[in-house]
Amino acid sequence: MNALANGVGDIVRFENVGMRYRLGAEVLHDVSFSLPAGSFHFLTGPSGAGKSSLMRLMYLAHRPSRGSISMFGRDVSTVPRTELAALRRRIGVVFQDFRLIDHLSALDNVALPLRVAGAKEGQIRNHVAELLKWVGLESQIDDKPTTLSGGEQQRVAIARAVIARPQILLADEPTGNVDDDIAIRLMYLLEELNKIGTTVVVATHNESLIERFKHPCFHVEDGLLSGPGVGVRNDRDPGGDQ
């Protein structure tokens, strides 16, 4: 179909994207790739390579300094500000540093995307409690993030990212603070979301996860992206410090 050939079926499409922070040097150069709807990708690369920066572009936190980005088939540079908020609601993000709100309980943190989207309060609590139970935090529902362990915070962050059923889930090191058992459990959660149609990108250093869950893998190094559909396929790089 012509539409697919044009990349309309792609949820994310980058063309020759460059990125810099303020007036600094470029941290990403000539990044071109696309993610078909419903795909599952890993994103690897050494520390400081630009994984989180690439994520930032995808969750619409940052404008590219050159090139073009399309999300859900829309050229981001032409989307009016008010509609950007609506686009962001279709994107779930697990931030590398969680970014939970300290004065809100786990429940209220997870409820945020629903509130922001204007969901009715009556529907929020049960829905959120159910998801927190799913990630194994049913007894910490009313706890503040500061009283949770790193791994528990990470699970709250994941729950918050998926609560509103995003079309694409961007998880930046979502298993960085948990032991392998929980990491695998969380990966199964992400896979389950993927099975019901969510496009997933997981940035990770965890080689065993990449090996266990056989998904295509992008690699960033020195601000350059390689991977499926990006020039020569670069099967996973040992990545050094694992």
Ligand X SMILES: Nc1ncnc2c1ncn2[C@@H]1O[C@H](COP(=O)(O)OP(=O)(O)OP(=O)(O)O)[C@@H](O)[C@H]1O
Three-class secondary structure of residue 108 per DSSP: helix
Specify the residue, 139 or 242, whose C-beta has the smaller distance to ligand X.
242
Specify the residue, 52 or 153, whose C-beta has the smaller distance to Mg ion.
52
**AA identity, residue 94:** V
- Residue 75 engages other proteins in binding (rule: CB under 8 A): no
Specify the residue, 65 or 208, whose C-beta has the smaller distance to other proteins.
65
Q: Which residues of the chain form contacts with Mg ion (CB under 5 A)?
A: 51-52, 96
Note the Cα 228 to chain centre separation in Å.
Answer: 18
Q: Are 166 and 111 in contact (CB under 8 A)?
A: no
- Residue 4 engages other proteins in binding (rule: CB under 8 A): no
Alpha-carbon dihedral angle through residues 130, 136, 141, 146, given to the nearest 10 degrees: -140
Specify the residue, 95 or 131, whose C-beta has the smaller distance to ligand X.
95
Residues 94-123 binding other proteins (CB under 8 A) are 99, 101, 103-104, 108, 111-113, 115-117, 121
Q: Are 26 and 33 in contact (CB under 8 A)?
A: no
Question: Helix 180-195 to helix 150-162 angle, to the nearest 10 degrees?
Answer: 0
> Which of ligand X, Mg ion, other proteins, none is residue 45 near (CB under 5 to 8 Å by kind)?
ligand X
Contact residue for ligand X among 53, 109, 154, 175 (CB under 6 A): 53
- Residue 222 engages ligand X in binding (rule: CB under 6 A): no
Distance CA 81, CA 72 (A): 16
Specify the residue, 157 or 187, whose C-beta has the smaller distance to other proteins.
157
Specify the residue, 92 or 176, whose C-beta has the smaller distance to ligand X.
176
Three-class secondary structure of residue 142 per DSSP: coil
Classify burial at 84, counting beta carbons within 10 Å of its beta carbon; exposed 0-12, middle 13-18, buried 19 or more.
Answer: middle
Q: Are 43 and 220 in contact (CB under 8 A)?
A: yes
Contact residue for other proteins among 60, 119, 129, 182 (CB under 8 A): 60
Residues 95-124 binding ligand X (CB under 6 A) are 96
Q: Which of 18, 123, 133 is nearest to 69 (CA)?
A: 18
> Which of Mg ion, other proteins, ligand X, none is residue 4 near (CB under 5 to 8 Å by kind)?
none
Distance CA 125, CA 110 (A): 10
Contact residue for other proteins among 12, 19, 71, 124 (CB under 8 A): 124
How does DSSP classify residue 205? -
Task: Tell me which residues touch other proteins (CB under 8 A).
Answer: 59-63, 81-82, 84-91, 93, 99, 101, 103-104, 108, 111-113, 115-117, 121, 124-125, 160
Task: Tell me which residues touch ligand X (CB under 6 A).
Answer: 21, 24, 27, 45, 47-53, 96
